[in-house]
A = this chain, B = another copy of it.
Amino acid sequence: MNTLSYGLLSLLAQSSYSGYDLMLRIQPFWPAKHSQIYPLLAKLEQEDYIRFELVPQRDKPDKKVYSLTGKGQEALKDWFDQPTAEPALRDEMMLKVFCMSYADRESARKMLADRLAYHKEQRRKYEHKLAELKEREGWPEAGLPAPSHPLFGAYLLTRKAIMSNETNTEWCKWVLSLLPEAD
């Protein structure tokens, strides 16, 4: 049982999903490819943390819809009380910034402009997600969801993503302002 396994169980605590769905939904929290997820799901199913139901579809390939077992629910609770690993951020840009004084101005400006565009696009997605959350059934008419609400966690994470996005955007703009365009 590694972190990705628990991540999949966390998603399944909310609702049942196909492997493909899980792969898409886990990306913001723990990037992983389908080639990593499918074998893991098979293993988790064999060890009775999850089970699946084969769902035939018209006009689309059949799918396996996974859900948590009792053992899976217990494993999740136990994991929650274990000490949490420190966050790990790997960003190639940070290495490039470190040696920025040795590169030319235009390259540096382009790198930052690209990152700024990336943040802008991410921001759009987060706002979309927030809007989506607010349209889900059970969302309170006014204010935030209560801590016991199933969407509480998703809301907190979307807010976190937006806050970080704003800070990163601000940093990019600040650095660009220190690198005026050459005439």
Interface residue ranges, A against B (CB under 8 Å):
3, 6-7, 9-11, 13-14, 29-31, 73, 76-77, 79-81, 83-103, 105, 107-108, 111, 114-115, 118, 144, 147-154, 156-157, 159-160, 163-164, 166-168, 170-171, 174-175, 178-179
Contact = CB atoms under 8 A, between A and B. Distances in A.
Nearest to A151: B101
A31 B163 contact: no
A65 B159 CA distance: 46
A50 B9 CA distance: 46
Nearest to A95: B7
Task: Tell which of A11, A31, A103 has the most Cβ of chain B within 10 Å.
Answer: A103
A45 to B, nearest CB: 19
Given A107-B81, A144-B178, A29 B88 contact: no
A107 B80 contact: yes
A88 B92 CA distance: 9
B118 A86 contact: yes
A13 B140 CA distance: 55
Given A103-B77, A153-B100, A156-B97, A88 B91 contact: yes
